[in-house]
Amino acid sequence: MKTQRLTSLGLGLLTLTVLPLAAACGSEKDSGGSPTVGTGSGTADVTGVHWTVDDLTVDGKKSDAPASAWLKIAKNGEVNGNLGCNGFGAKATVDGDEIALGQFLSTDMACASMGFENTLTKALKDGTLTAKSTESAKNAQQLTLTTKTGDTIHLTEEKAAALYGTKWTITTLGAAGDGSGDGDSAAVSPLPSGADAYLVLDQKKGTVSGKAGCNNVSADATVSDGTITFGSPSTTRRMCDGSLMEAEKTLLGLFDGKATYKIDHRSMTLTSADGTTVSATAAD
């Protein structure tokens, strides 16, 4: 499964934003439902789905997409995602199984390899796209976008990570402030090189376990109404490099207290009452 993602899909996929059907055809009335595209046996809602771009076939040549390529069409018709290097946002109209390209905006980063992104952008700007939704053998929704010249873009639904049972790899930490007022919270920073930090919540046992940067850690954990109450941590007693131990000290600031959590697809943020902040991503 492809993981999350850098900044950018660029010009093309922006156009995949879906607007109500009324916007696509002035003579039709918006039914108030979500836009759908046809399949072999009916229709499927393409909004609210995190679509991973699998590959692109242009002039008979297939190219696999970079892991960073994805898009999501919100219920309100807003689209965002990544073309492989550059992030994007856009809007579009849907009329039956046709997606009409609209305006788009993207970032303007130069990456080591821009070939796939440039080709994808061109394909998406080739005119109206024909969309077909199917279901894979693993019950994952798949989407094929076909240009007027016959080029195809294949995408697969990527499910959001579950709170329980997922290995949440820590990516950034922010230490609690000193309670003096403005500027209490320290700047958020990535983990130092060599740090091994992750958490796994076990619903049945009511516990959390993992690594805190250097040492193993475990504690009771109770989830309720968007918060996690962490018990006193039990850790091993290994000594590591000073930067690792400092990161571990910050992460352990989550324990012996309550933290709010928020999951956005495959990313999670944890914020304790004293200001300790932790960002994590779901491991494959």
Compute the Cα dihedral for 161, 167, 173, 175 and give only its sign. Answer: positive
Q: Specify the amino acid at residue 65.
A: A
**Using CA atoms, how far apart are residues 38 and 215, in angstroms rounded to an integer?**
52
Share of the chain above pLDDT 70, in %: 80
Model confidence over 195-248: pLDDT tens digits?
Answer: 999 999 999 999 999 999 999 999 999 999 999 999 999 999 999 999 999 999
Return the closest-CA partner of residue 49 out of 158, 179, 177, 195.
158
Over residues 62-81, mean pLDDT = 85
In degrees to the nearest 10, what's the CA dihedral of 269, 272, 278, 284?
-50
Burial-class residue 223 by CB neighbours within 10 Å (0-12, 13-18, 19+): middle
Over residues 164-170, mean pLDDT = 97
Compute the Cα dihedral for 79, 83, 86, 92 and give only its sign. Answer: negative
Burial-class residue 238 by CB neighbours within 10 Å (0-12, 13-18, 19+): exposed
pTM for the model stands at 0.67
